[in-house]
Structure 1
Amino acid sequence: MQRRRSSSRTNYQYFEPPYAGPAWPTVIEPIYYEYIPALQEHNTHGKDDEFTLEDLKSLLNTTGESVIDTLWEKLVVNAPVAPRLSTEFSSPPISPNEAPQNPPEPIWKDFAPKKSSRGFLSTLFEVLSGRAGAKIRVAEREFEYAKAEWNRNRVSRELAMDAHLRAVKRYEAESGEYKRQRTLIERTLANATVRHTVFKQRLHLAVAADKEALTSLVQHANEGSVAGIEALAQQIPRTIPMTLALPDVQATFDQSNGILLYTISLPNLENANLCVELKTKFRKATDKEVRTAQEFLLHALSLRIIHEVFATSEMSKVQMVGLNMKLEFINRHNGRWMNEIIGSLAVTRSEFASLNIAEVNPKLCFRSLKGVAAPSFQDLSAVRPVLIFDRDDKRIVEGREVVDKLEAETNLAAMDWEDFEHVVRELFSKMFSARNESAEVHVTRASRDYGVDAIVHDPDPIHGGKFVIQAKRYVNTVEASAIRDLFGTVQNEGANRGFLVTTSSFGPDAHAFAKGKALTLIDGTHLLQLLQKHGYTFRINLAEARKLLHGR
């Protein structure tokens, strides 16, 4: 018997898959720092950055190794972390479910009763008995019901189909946007990775170049060459971690005596942003606090530089360090800018060996080492350097051997004035060489009795320095104005002392002016005595010289 078809109403609905949309990751790219070469100033503040006196006090914080040794520790490739995504990519849009099935419209042949297979008599019997008609009527009712049901569900089917089509279109749009956005982020990540790779390569090259430069610098210093030691010496102050940069650093090495002389320009703290730290904020430093900081910088930096030189194994040939600390400041008396030495110090290795600069009072320690500094930082003034050399003076000319060619009874007052200058140069050369073989005495270009006639460079750490000499082959008394000129020359040259040597004599005013100053006056009598000590028996006859030179 044919099974009756269900008469329940079918609910044709389409449920879209849930999709809240992607949470896109961001590309996290590191901040690429500017690589500071190891052989470069290691100051950490800019001109407008705030810093305090406590920052300056870190100058005295030393470690067990020199700053040059610490450079090797910095020569490593500290590349930043590679770029990455903040999160993983979210899942792509979900593909729509299959479209709802649209059943075919019912047709009669699917409901018509099947023909009997019993034979003719059986079929005739069903017809005559009315069973065949009953089957047909039942099939017709089912067919009509199915057809009506199919018609009733047509709207819901169409709505479900429309919903599926919309879902398909939305999926295609969202999938395309997902691919586009993901491609963009992946491209951004790829570009960031390229930048990271390039930075690492440049960093590797920079570190390798630094290692090569530092190796060469240390190697030349180890070899003991003057140029190598001077190059390493110039690097040491710039390698000290400082609050402000040093405007200029110059170093000169005297190999024969193991003396290293620095000339360093200090930063003027009046032009810096010095602050005082309070409990909850900072305030700008007063003028008095700035002056205190400037004085501290002079003393502390001097001690730190000397400490670093002696702590550097490659500087073992240096037995003494001299420092001339210069500062560019305004002279409050005339309003002009000055660039003068305001502090000077010279210390031997043995003198410095017992000091622990981390625990000293910089000013007291500086003074105990016989350093000299400006007496007042409120009214700055220049000081006489403890040690200074200037072997590159372009005024220097080649000396001539004159003394041994002169006859024993030569009248010095009547000889050629230029030859007299060479006689004085030879005398001082013998005098200084007897004390220190490394002392050098040079004659300058012809000056016709003004300026500097000879310059002495003596590297002796106690009695040495720079000395200027004026030689005056005079037949008349030397006036006080010549002594005043010499004193001005001594100051301009930055010399330790000035000598005025004459064949005549000095008046009372000249002696009065020279008293208490770094001046030595050598008259004719004293000159002959000095020459006699070295075996020369020259004479000075002023009357004879006047007659020969001036005809009277």
Structure 2
Amino acid sequence: MPSARYGILLSRINDHVLSWGQAVAGGNDPYARELARQAREREKARKAAEAAAKRKAREEKLAYEAARAQEAVDRTSVAEHDAEQLAKLLRSSVLDGQPLTFDRLRQEFVPSPFIPPKGRIKAAPLPRWEEYEPEPPRGLLGALGFGRRGHDAEVESARKRFDRALRDHARDEKKRAEKLEEARAQHKERNEEEAARVEQWNTALEERRNAYRDRDVETVEWFVNQVLAASVYPHGFPKANQVSFQADTGDLLVEIDLPLEDVVPAARAYRHVKTRDEITPIPRPEKERKELYASVLAQTALRTVHELFNSDTEGVVQSIALNGHVATIDRATGRDVHPCLITLQADRAEFSQLVLTQVDPRACLKRLRSLISPNPYELEPVRPLVTFDLSKFRLMDSLDVVAGLDSRPVLMDLKPTEFEHLIRQLFEAIGLDSVNTQPSKDEGVDAVAMNTDPVMKGLCIIQAKRTKNVVPFETVSALAGVVEHKRAAKGILVTTSWFGRASEAFANEHGRLELLDGANLVHLFKEHMNLDVIPGPVPPKKRPR
């Protein structure tokens, strides 16, 4: 503000001076004419400065608006590129993608060149006597022999310095050569280690290839996981998956996580609103978003099957069953859910006849044996055509324990295997598909069950403890480890006794563990099997607190 008032005051002074100068300009006063000229120059300069400032402000405003408009264009280009990538998920993989094969997994050793450390490449130049030799006496006195004694002393001193410099040079050169050789040896050792690592990898890979040809289940599942991990998708696609291979039939079951609906850009374009200086999105129509999302799911399913068949150059996999899930939260309950939105089965011969670059993904899925969510945008689930058949567990024949029980059996009197089978029958009565595992290698698993509900489905690990003492916390913790290792949806620990507070708190915090004590068993057997049981000698209601 003070500068503005000063400018106004200066302008008024210039106007007064100019008026006064014009009034006297008609006279012959040189001083008055000079004042008038100076006033005119100042006024001219002031107006020129104001015009330049306005011009600069206009240019800056235009440049800013152009930058903001370009920002809107750039954001529109990103949205268009993202949508185009989603629309070409399948086509780009078929045309541009190279299948991951065992040959492509091989590694090639390329020795790295040796780069000497800085300062160790060249030897330092040898000291030269000329750099140390003193000048002889000159002139008439030198010719007459005067000063020779002093010169001889200087020569002797220079000779000593020169010899010392030669020794220092030899020592430094030896040290340099040793350091250089040490660096060369270390580099050679690193190359040899890398060559050994590559050879070890390729040898193990060749063993895997032979095992793959022999349909070794673990090797086939390992290779399938490698193929799935190598597939590159746009940002926002999850990489979680499970695989199971049946060696006798060549059937492969794959479960993958699909992206959520927010993978489709919500904005079709962006524009700059000058009046508010805002970049606002132009929303993508809801119908277009839903159609693109449904297409993304269909393309992902077809692309996964294509890449797996294409990578299987040995012809080990004869058919693929694929279930596509999404990991999300149920908005009604707030709980984690994993609904299946796409499920399909495809034989190698049938799938090889498809021209994937020309198909409509959703129409192609309908032609195959598949089920597609009628409303994937709302996460409406479908029932998978094929689920994991529990082949990774060693299963044993079921035993009907209920038929041989008295009217009110004491659970503690049962044999361990009878108790485990009784628990299996209980969960089958509850509604789960349940089987028992072999006791020799069950890894802490007494039974496995499948929840076939399309939304909350998954593998359940069941462990039964027939004991009259409190179940140790370590047992609960170990079950949690088995649940994580088996990628199970839930772990259930059943006992005839009770659990400590630490175990109950741990199970609640874990979220996928359920503890059923003796009191729960009494209720469940009565409700689902109409069976009255006695947990054991310690009544649950008197368990220690």
For Structure 1 versus Structure 2, the TM-score category normalised by the shorter chain is 0.3 to 0.5
The answer to which structure, 1 or 2, has the higher relative contact order (CA under 8 A, 6+ apart) is 1
Instruction: Kindly name which structure, 1 or 2, has the bigger radius of gyration based on alpha carbons.
Output: 1
When you count helix as a share of all residues, which structure comes out higher?
A: 2
TM-score scaled by length of structure 2? 0.44
